[in-house]
């Protein structure tokens, strides 16, 4: 189970290969990749900067991964989240979940994305033309995370 | 009693600081007390922290509710709702 917070891009295929290598128990791998969109509320986005809270980010992501492991029988789990300046089309986040069967992998992946969006301390700053705007949290993201509340 | 206070995103910009060490009086015992005390330190703080519904707090890198205790040596982070992913 691995959590990485980094400025650099990542290679999804290479990470998937590493996660599953040598474990023939794994029958299902689900990956989620989040990308920078080039629009927000009908306005064009030229650039985005992701700020984070070093230390707490890793701590919260690790706690979320531990929670997923408690809930589903996972054979592998990786979360990579980038920070710093990004442009439309750039990868922001990668979540890979491996399990013996697909249901656990699908559910755990969705859970991890829903929870990291509402719990991991990252903040998006969007730039449109000369304007900069801090992205506001969405009620729909809170609702998605709340589905998994026990 | 010294505490480190960190600010992130637009709260960092509005306060004009990423980090400061503060020494609140002993009657500051909880997160809510600390926010109230910070707001009393000047217009910039008052404006930045006026709306508690858009201010989140972490104590020693874990989310903390308003009644969570604060003490000397704590790392207290104040930031808007998160928007990663």
Chain segment A11-67, per-residue pLDDT in tens? 999 999 999 999 999 999 999 999 999 888 778 889 999 999 999 999 999 999 999
Given CB atoms, is B26 within the 8 Å cutoff of chain A? no
| Average pLDDT score over residue span B44-72 | 95
Residue-level pLDDT at A36? 95
For A47, the enclosing helix (H) or strand (E) is strand A47-52
Contact yes or no for A119/A81 (Cβ under 8 A): no
For residue range A135-149, what is the model confidence (pLDDT) as tens digits? 999 999 999 999 998
% residues pLDDT > 90 (chain A): 89
Q: Shortest Cα distance from B52 to chain A (angstroms)? A: 14
What pTM was computed for the model? 0.94
Q: Shortest Cα distance from A30 to chain B (angstroms)? A: 16
For residue range B9-40, what is the model confidence (pLDDT) as tens digits? 999 999 999 999 999 999 999 999 999 999 99
Residue-level pLDDT at B1? 80
Quote the ipTM score. 0.95
The two tokens of residue A72 are 């589903």
Considering only alpha carbons, which residue of chain B is nearest residue A116?
A: B85
Q: Shortest Cα distance from B81 to chain A (angstroms)? A: 6
Asked if B77's CB is within 8 angstroms of A56's CB, the reply is: yes
* Test the A interface: residue of B4, B48, B59, B83 with most A CBs within 10 Å: B83
A130: left (phi over 0), alpha (psi -120 to 50) or beta: alpha
Given CB atoms, is A66 within the 8 Å cutoff of chain B? no
Q: Is the pLDDT of residue B82 over 90?
A: yes
Q: Which of A34, A59, A119 sits opposite B82 (nearest CB)?
A: A119
Contact yes or no for A14/A63 (Cβ under 8 A): no
Residue-level pLDDT at B52? 83
Contact yes or no for A75/A98 (Cβ under 8 A): yes
| Average pLDDT score over residue span A79-87 | 98
Q: Identify all chain B residues contacting A34, using CB atoms and an 8 Å cutoff.
A: 85
Residue-level pLDDT at A45? 87
Contact yes or no for B68/A111 (Cβ under 8 A): no
Q: Is the pLDDT of residue B71 over 90?
A: yes
| Average pLDDT score over residue span B41-69 | 95
Residue-level pLDDT at A74? 98
Query: Which class for A54: exposed (0-12), middle (13-18), buried (19 or more C-beta within 10 A)?
Result: exposed
């Amino acid at each position: 189970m691995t959590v990485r917070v980094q400025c650099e891009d990542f290679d999804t295929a290479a990470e998937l290969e590493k996660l599953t290598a040598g474990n023939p128990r794994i029958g299902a791998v689900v990956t989620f990749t989040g990308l920078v969109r080039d629009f927000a509320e009908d306005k064009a986005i030229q650039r985005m900067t992701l700020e984070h809270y070093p230390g707490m980010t890793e701590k919260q992501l690790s706690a979320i991964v531990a929670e997923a492991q408690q809930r589903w029988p996972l054979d592998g789990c990786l979360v990579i989240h980038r920070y710093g300046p990004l442009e439309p089309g750039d990868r922001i986040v990668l979540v890979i979940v491996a399990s013996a069967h697909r249901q656990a992998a699908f559910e755990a992946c969705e859970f991890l994305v829903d929870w990291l969006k509402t719990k991991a301390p990252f903040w998006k700053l969007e730039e449109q033309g000369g304007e900069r705007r801090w992205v506001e949290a969405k009620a729909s993201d809170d609702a998605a995370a709340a589905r998994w509340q026990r | 009693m010294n505490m480190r206070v960190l600010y992130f995103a637009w709260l960092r910009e509005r306060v004009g600081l990423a980090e400061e060490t503060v020494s609140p009086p002993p009657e500051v015992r909880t997160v809510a007390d600390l926010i109230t005390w910070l707001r009393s330190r000047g217009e910039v703080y008052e404006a930045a922290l006026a709306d508690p519904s858009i201010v989140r707090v972490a104590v020693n890198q874990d989310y903390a509710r308003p009644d969570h205790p604060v003490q000397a040596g704590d790392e207290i982070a104040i930031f808007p709702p998160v928007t990663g992913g």
